[in-house]
Amino acid sequence: QAQYVTSGGGSVQAGGSLRLSCEASTHIFSSNCMGWFRQAPGKEREGVAVIYTSGGTPVYADSVKGRFTMSQDNAKNTVYLQMNSLKPEDTSMYYCSSFVIGLTGADCLLREPVNWGQGTQVTVSS
């Protein structure tokens, strides 16, 4: 199993905020695509946000654009997901994962997670 330490999930009311963090082992984090996907019971997996850790720009799912912000701290091998203006439909298990690197070598395929750790639950009540 991939080596990740994930934290930050929880329960909030609609309109609230949460921040997820994910520390990955160095061999996973370096020069790789790192990000988050989510999956709720009975629903398909959805890529949420991803970034190429060596100088990439975050890519977001349309459903979270303008509300979620991804950042990274390379010194800590950590990526973060700041989630604002949360909606009940954001309720899901969130997984930190590496993602497939695209053909350019610096773009990330948001729909292609590779290795992920244990998820963290995010629950948004109306």
Ordered alpha helix ranges (H), 36-111: none
pLDDT at 73 over 90: yes
Task: Write the pLDDT tens digit of every residue in 23-50.
Answer: 999 999 999 999 999 999 999 999 999 9
Q: Would you state the pLDDT for residue 40?
A: 95
Taking alpha carbons only, the member of 122, 115, 113 closest to residue 92 is 122
Taking alpha carbons only, the member of 109, 97, 104 closest to residue 34 is 97
2 band by pLDDT with thresholds 50, 70 and 90: low
Q: Would you state the pLDDT for residue 105?
A: 82
Decide: 60 and 74 in contact? Cβ < 8 Å: no
Q: Would you state the pLDDT for residue 109?
A: 93
The three-class DSSP label of residue 25 is: coil
Looking at the DSSP assignment, which residues form a beta bridge with residue 23?
5, 78
Task: Write the pLDDT tens digit of every residue in 93-125.
Answer: 999 999 999 988 889 999 999 999 899 999 999
Q: How far is CA 92 from CA 9, 24, 26, 47, 114, in A?
A: 10, 21, 27, 12, 19
